[in-house]
Amino acid sequence: DAGVIQSPRHEVTEMGQEVTLRCKPISGHNSLFWYRQTMMRGLELLIYFNNNVPIDDSGMPEDRFSAKMPNASFSTLKIQPSEPRDSAVYFCASSLNAGGSYGEQYFGPGTRLTVT
Amino acid sequence: AQSVTQLGSHVSVSEGALVLLRCNYSSSVPPYLFWYVQYPNQGLQLLLKYTSAATLVKGINGFEAEFKKSETSFHLTKPSAHMSDAAEYFCAVSDRSSARQLTFGSGTQLTVLP
């Protein structure tokens, strides 16, 4: 079975450029989560969706960050304009949120973003 | 509100020795608890989960964890460490609500010495 798919795996961009990260969740999962991981701050939840609807975006650092989930099989995280402090590994995770499930999340391999 | 505390950001053991990674949780309702492992340059992988069916939970790669309500703990153990166990380990708790968010601990980096 295919797991969570993220693209690109690595992204190097210059400050001020727009960056779009992509995620395909596991088929049948109805919750999707975007995380950011850095040495300084650890693993941070940015936003999560349930049935394609954003439920909590309180972790999004500022207006430069936006996320969409146009359908059950695709989500994007966009940073515009990017800044060096956005350099991190961004993970997408999905889970099945339904009766009888326990909330375990399955993570993608991550996108390593470097902003110079 | 719920939270997870992992005692010890770095743990070193010798190959073949017991691995013990500590996790304490705080939750206002009976929790679901999870351990994840992250190998270098990879995403987090589910090791095991506690869902209230049994207090001793067995996971992949020979790991197990015991839920102790009286101690609000969910420590991860493995009888004999392998070099391949070197990774970062995260404990997490689910809020059991419809949102099913996970609250993660800060992680414990396990080093296995030859």
Is the model's pLDDT at B98 over the cut of 70? no
Which of A4, A55, A104 minimises the CB distance to B34?
A: A104
Which CA distances in Å does A63 have to A34, A50, A60, B81? 16, 21, 8, 45
Give the span between the Cα atoms of B80 and B15, in whole angstroms: 7
CA atoms within 13 A on the CB side of B8: 16
pLDDT score at B99: 57
pLDDT score at A1: 66
What average pLDDT score do residues B54-64 get? 93
Which of B36, B46, B100 minimises the CB distance to A97?
A: B100
Which CA distances in Å does B19 have to A56, A68, A74, B74, B78? 36, 41, 39, 14, 5
Give the span between the Cα atoms of A72 and A67, in whole angstroms: 14
Which of B98, B104, B107 minimises the CB distance to A97?
A: B98
Is the model's pLDDT at B6 over the cut of 90? yes
Residue B114 touches chain A, beta carbons under 8 Å: no
**CB of A45 closer than 8 Å to CB of A35:** yes
pLDDT tens figures, A77-103: 999 999 999 999 999 999 988 776 788
Q: Measured between beta carbons, which residues in chain A are less than 8 angstroms from residue B36?
A: 107
- A102 and B49 within 8 Å at the Cβ level: the answer is yes
